[in-house]
């Protein structure tokens, strides 16, 4: 936590410094003559347009509640870098069209590199772009898009998936690296990007959005794209019960160094069996989420291509990386009544001092047919089992066809390390380590090398036995099962059993 505070303080001070040097426009004065919610929307949007043209900021002080009706000709309200809404409550009725209320989306351009794929792949892997003339100086935000599909067709859907990476360059060099190498693969990388001249971080803070229960169309809050540093803080969104679906309250694409602090999202336009997301993210790097509180019918997050994500002191239902990402850390989090869902994840998924309540910590989404190897770690966690959810890993399907990409031909399960887990279970219900969907398979599972279990007890401190699996699936590698006493790191244990 201490390492993260300087980044947050820096972002806030940078935005505060920007606000002190910029002129401000009083919104309360401009709204004095508005007659209805539609005219208030037009005045609000025009005020933001004028502020962008003159370099001003919008001063929301003095406005307690702002009632808006979305007009049929509405376009998103454009934002600058500094946006402090001074705790304004927006009550929005929308019977016109689905729309983002606010947006900041500076465009990226396709970059004609003129290099063979092998040389470009080597530059991406090494972080050295100096051989490319227009990238060898200045600051750039680059998105690497693989033209070869990662997944050709998702089972049960009409689309596939493409891997992406976000890189930050300075004078031709990048400290960022891809989740996995491009060299030696069938990848055909292409670059889109923009030169970065912004001197301040993006700030979007102190706002409440109440979606009116009479709305028949969806008002999303924020669309943010192609930004290097961003803080979204002290934001609340409340959605009443509705038949609407396909939500995306906050959409963040191609962004790096993102701080989400003190967000509250209560409800979304979704159903338990029809999707809609509070936070929709794609191709994001270095995302930190602090003090998030959320409860939604479907699940809060919908993400792809997420690299290095941290949750700290959060209470919410579900996180997922639908396809392609690396490294997720949860610290002091409570998750309830759902599951975390992953496909094509590399690196480590770590839960440190977390609580799972009627919750599956890891579900491998089978519809992408992609099972690369990664590591799952639990450290000093609590797990309340129910007869509906009592499995640590829902392992997807091992009996599906072989994926076309060479990187995915071996179907792997994660190495598992548990160092302290308190289990609260109904009478005679034993926790289960892995559950394989579908029929027992003759196809071997590769990549799993060690299962290390340490300090698994009940709330009274007594050792709890854990079932390995309910189905027989062959393992291609010898797997070591290590059991350690409480307080001893599993990595230092002695092997006492072999599967």
Q: Quickly state the pLDDT bin for 477 (edges 50, 70, 90).
A: low
On the question of pLDDT at 478 being above 80, the answer is: no
C-alpha distances (whole Å) from 243 to each of 239, 269, 278 are 11, 7, 16
Q: Within a domain: residue 39? A: no
Q: Within a domain: residue 286? A: no
- Please name which of 286, 283, 280, 314 lies closest in space to residue 300, comparing C-alpha atoms: 280
Q: Quickly state the pLDDT bin for 458 (edges 50, 70, 90).
A: very high
Main-chain phi, psi angles of 173, to 5 degrees: -120, 145
Question: Of 195, 212, 227, which residue sits at a domain end?
Answer: 195
Higher pLDDT, 477 or 305: 305
Q: Within a domain: residue 311? A: no
Question: Of 195, 217, 246, which residue sits at a domain end?
Answer: 195
**Highest-confidence segment of 42-51, 463-472, 477-486:** 42-51
pLDDT recorded at residue 20: 45
Calpha distance 189→165 (Å, rounded): 10
Question: Percent of the chain, pLDDT > 90?
Answer: 77
The predicted model gives 106-111 an average pLDDT of 96
What's the whole-number average pLDDT of the chain?
Answer: 90
pLDDT recorded at residue 485: 53
On the question of pLDDT at 175 being above 60, the answer is: yes
Q: Quickly state the pLDDT bin for 199 (edges 50, 70, 90).
A: confident
Q: Are residues 189 and 337 in the same domain?
A: no
Question: Of 195, 220, 240, which residue sits at a domain end?
Answer: 195
On the question of pLDDT at 87 being above 70, the answer is: yes
Q: Within a domain: residue 337? A: yes
Main-chain phi, psi angles of 353, to 5 degrees: 55, 45
What's the number of domains the chain is made of?
A: 2
Contact between 84 and 206 (Cβ < 8 Å): yes
pTM: 0.91
pLDDT recorded at residue 483: 62
Residue reference for tokens 């409860």: 295
Q: Give just the sign of the alpha carbon dihedral 136, 140, 146, 150.
A: positive
Tens digit of each residue's pLDDT (9 = 90 or more) over 355-371: 999 999 999 999 999 99
Q: Within a domain: residue 115? A: yes
Tens digit of each residue's pLDDT (9 = 90 or more) over 310-335: 999 999 999 999 999 999 999 999 99
Residue reference for tokens 């270095």: 286
Strands 164-170 and 139-146: antiparallel
Is residue 165 helix, strand or coil?
strand
Q: Within a domain: residue 375? A: yes
Calpha distance 86→27 (Å, rounded): 11
Domain that holds residue 498: 333-499
Q: Quickly state the pLDDT bin for 451 (edges 50, 70, 90).
A: confident
Calpha distance 257→259 (Å, rounded): 7
Calpha distance 183→188 (Å, rounded): 10
The predicted model gives 107-112 an average pLDDT of 95
The predicted model gives 235-252 an average pLDDT of 98
Calpha distance 304→41 (Å, rounded): 33
Q: Are residues 337 and 189 in the same domain?
A: no
Question: Percent of the chain, pLDDT > 70?
Answer: 90
Q: Which of 16-20, 89-93, 269-273, 437-441 has the lowest mean pLDDT?
A: 16-20
pLDDT recorded at residue 492: 35
Q: Quickly state the pLDDT bin for 10 (edges 50, 70, 90).
A: very low
Q: Within a domain: residue 137? A: yes
Q: Within a domain: residue 295? A: no
């Amino acid at each position: 936590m201490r390492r993260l505070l300087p980044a947050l303080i820096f972002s806030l001070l940078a935005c505060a410094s920007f606000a002190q040097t910029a002129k401000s426009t009083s919104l309360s004065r401009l709204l004095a003559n508005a007659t209805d919610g539609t005219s208030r929307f037009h005045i609000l949007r025009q005020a933001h347009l004028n502020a962008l043209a003159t370099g001003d900021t919008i001063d929301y002080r003095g406005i307690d509640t702002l009632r808006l009706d979305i007009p049929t000709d509405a376009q998103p309200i454009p934002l600058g870098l500094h946006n402090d809404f001074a705790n304004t409550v927006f009550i929005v009725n929308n019977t016109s069209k689905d729309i983002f209320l606010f947006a900041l989306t500076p465009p990226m351009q396709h970059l004609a590199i003129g290099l063979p794929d092998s040389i470009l792949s080597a530059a991406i892997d090494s972080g050295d772009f100096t051989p490319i003339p227009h990238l060898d100086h200045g600051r750039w935000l680059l998105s690497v898009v693989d033209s070869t599909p990662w997944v050709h067709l998702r089972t049960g859907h009409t689309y596939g998936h493409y891997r992406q990476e976000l890189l930050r360059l300075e004078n031709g060099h990048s400290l960022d690296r891809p989740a996995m190498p491009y060299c030696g693969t069938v990848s055909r990388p292409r670059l889109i990007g923009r030169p970065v001249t912004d001197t301040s971080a993006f700030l979007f803070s102190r706002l409440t959005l109440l979606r009116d229960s009479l709305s028949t169309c969806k008002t999303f809050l924020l669309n943010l794209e192609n930004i290097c540093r961003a803080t979204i803080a002290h934001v609340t969104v409340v959605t009443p019960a509705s038949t609407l679906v396909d939500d995306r309250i906050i959409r963040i694409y191609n962004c790096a160094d993102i701080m989400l602090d003190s967000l509250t999202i209560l409800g979304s336009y979704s159903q338990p069996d029809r999707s809609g997301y509070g936070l929709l993210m794609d191709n994001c790097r270095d995302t930190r989420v602090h003090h998030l509180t959320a409860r939604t019918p479907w699940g809060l997050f919908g993400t792809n291509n997420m690299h290095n994500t941290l949750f700290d002191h959060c209470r919410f239902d579900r996180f997922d990386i639908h396809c392609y990402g690396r490294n997720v850390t949860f610290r002091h989090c409570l998750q309830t009544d759902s599951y975390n869902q992953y496909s094509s994840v590399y690196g480590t998924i770590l839960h440190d001092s977390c609580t799972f309540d009627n919750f599956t910590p890891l579900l491998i989404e089978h519809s992408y047919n992609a099972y690369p190897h990664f590591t799952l770690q639990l450290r000093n966690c609590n797990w309340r089992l129910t007869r509906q959810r009592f499995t640590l890993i829902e392992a997807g399907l091992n009996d599906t066809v072989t994926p076309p990409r060479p990187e995915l031909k071996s179907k792997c399960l994660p190495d598992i390390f548990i160092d302290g887990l308190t289990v609260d279970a109904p009478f005679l219900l034993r926790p289960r380590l892995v559950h394989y969907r579908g029929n027992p398979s003759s196809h071997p599972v590769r990549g799993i090398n060690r299962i290390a279990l340490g300090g698994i007890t009940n709330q009274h401190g007594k050792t709890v036995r854990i079932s390995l699996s309910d189905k027989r699936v062959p393992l291609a590698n010898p797997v070591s099962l290590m059991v350690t006493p409480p307080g001893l790191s599993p990595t230092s244990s002695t092997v006492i059993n072999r599967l």
